[in-house]
Amino acid sequence: MSDPSDALQVAIYDALVADAGVGALVADRVFDKVSVGDLPEMPYVAFGDFQVLDDGAGCIDGSEVFVTLHVWSRQRGTREAKQVVSAVRKALHEADLALGSDHRLIEIMFRDSRVFFDADGLTAHGVLTFRALTETAV
């Protein structure tokens, strides 16, 4: 059986690159990992941390998965970063994501977001957290 966070990451990526609102702002710039020496054009979205907690009960093998996504922008101020954060939230909150044959999504819910300036003073940085409940497919 695969890790539910892996299946969830694939589904989130697919949902973000397919969403017109997200695409209008970041095109297809959604990344698993960004190298500091080879930064992509901004704005972009990058995956952050995943935390998987057991949420099983009786005969149900379930997981609670927390997903962190990062938004990066170099536009003056925080407006563009906030727009991308809003588009990502809209694309994923209560989305019906297919997790493949090993897992089934019960729900994905937006938890929180924040937008601030990075330490360089130039880059606006948005951080979103989502909570997903999954169960092992039968």
The pLDDT, as a whole number, for residue 84 is 98
CATH of the domain at 30: 3.30.2000.30
Q: Packing angle between helix 4-18 and helix 79-92, nearest 10 degrees?
A: 120
Bridge partners of 66, per DSSP, are 51, 131
CA distance 30 to 26: 8
**What is the tens place of the pLDDT at every residue in 47-88?**
999 999 876 666 677 889 999 999 999 999 999 999 999 999
- What is the overall mean pLDDT for the chain? 92
Task: Report CA-CA distances (Å) from 66 to 50, 99, 129.
Answer: 6, 15, 7
The pLDDT, as a whole number, for residue 3 is 86
- The residue range of the domain holding 128 is 4-136
Question: At 74, which amino acid appears?
Answer: R
Q: How many domains does the structure of the chain reveal? A: 1
